[in-house]
Structure 1
């Protein structure tokens, strides 16, 4: 890839480094269908452009999917990155700050990066975990109609 080509994730070349990209202040994590998330994202994009008060959104299809990704250890990692103004010097430094072994922290960073909850800045031999948000808001709505066929709610 040359310096003028777009990044693999579609950003213009000048945004190759995620630290140079515009980011809202808040990341909102939701549990909703792909269609619901897409509709909300498109509506937000149409009404507000580069507004730091409009949160970025990462959605999961189910609470179970969310729980598999946002484990206690990964939440602790996110909190620490936010507390240190978003960036660690390296995964090794992050593991040291968390008082954890390198390999599980490396794996957690990879998962959080894969799901768009953090970014990893590649600086040659060093990979720097980076969170551009000042806060992460978990938005899970527990509502709905009871399904009579569900054994958990069926009378018997």
Structure 2
């Protein structure tokens, strides 16, 4: 039986804090085909009992840079420093000495890309949650045709 949101997770995993997560999140730049192949490899590795990092792939270096601004990296580092969870977005904004709106916007965007999770507790406060111990950026630049944006191999 799945949860009411129909996200494919069994009811016991409706809260992302209850889902199994690897220790490492890998952010990479790769084509759709490469990301698809990596996903198939990861599924096979998990079936074999091998630990693999979670992966979020971006199509271009520009897209990665657009999402991972210095301020958003600061949000991620702060969440890593507090064992992955903040009391609320307001508390995170206070820790960062930034406005609620800018932190809310940054956390929401990171959640939209699957980098951070938003957890709603009984009091309805949204809590940013980062279940990883480390985040690894994996971008390999290669020679490209003139005028093309660099992509990973």
Identify whether the pair has TM-score above 0.5, normalized to the shorter chain. yes
For residues 50 and 27 of structure 2, the distance between their equivalents in structure 1, rounded to whole angstroms, comes to: 16
The equivalent of 2:151 in structure 1 is none
| 1:29-51 deviation digits (Å, cap 9, x = unpaired) | 00001111111111111122496
Mind listing any 5+ residue stretches in structure 2 that lack a counterpart? 149-153
The equivalent of 1:154 in structure 2 is none
* Structure number with bigger Rg: 1
Structure ranking higher on relative contact order (CA contacts 8 Å, 6+ apart):
2
- Relative to 1, partners in 2 of residues 1:51 and 1:91: Cα closer, same or farther, differing over 3 Å? farther
Correspondence 1:24-103 to 2 at 5 A: 24-49=22-47, 53-103=51-101
- Relative to 1, partners in 2 of residues 1:51 and 1:109: Cα closer, same or farther, differing over 3 Å? farther
For the pair 1:133 / 2:116, whether they are aligned, the reply is no
Give the drift of 1:52. 7.8
The size of the alignment, in residue pairs, is: 147
Paired residues of 1:121 and 1:129 also in contact (CA < 8 A): yes
Kindly report the root-mean-square deviation, in angstroms, between the aligned alpha carbons of the 2 structures.
2.0
- Could you tell which deviates more after superposition, 21-30 or 42-51? 42-51
TM-score, structure 1 as length reference: 0.87
Q: Secondary structure at the match of 2:73?
A: helix
For residues 81 and 126 of structure 1, the distance between their equivalents in structure 2, rounded to whole angstroms, comes to: 16
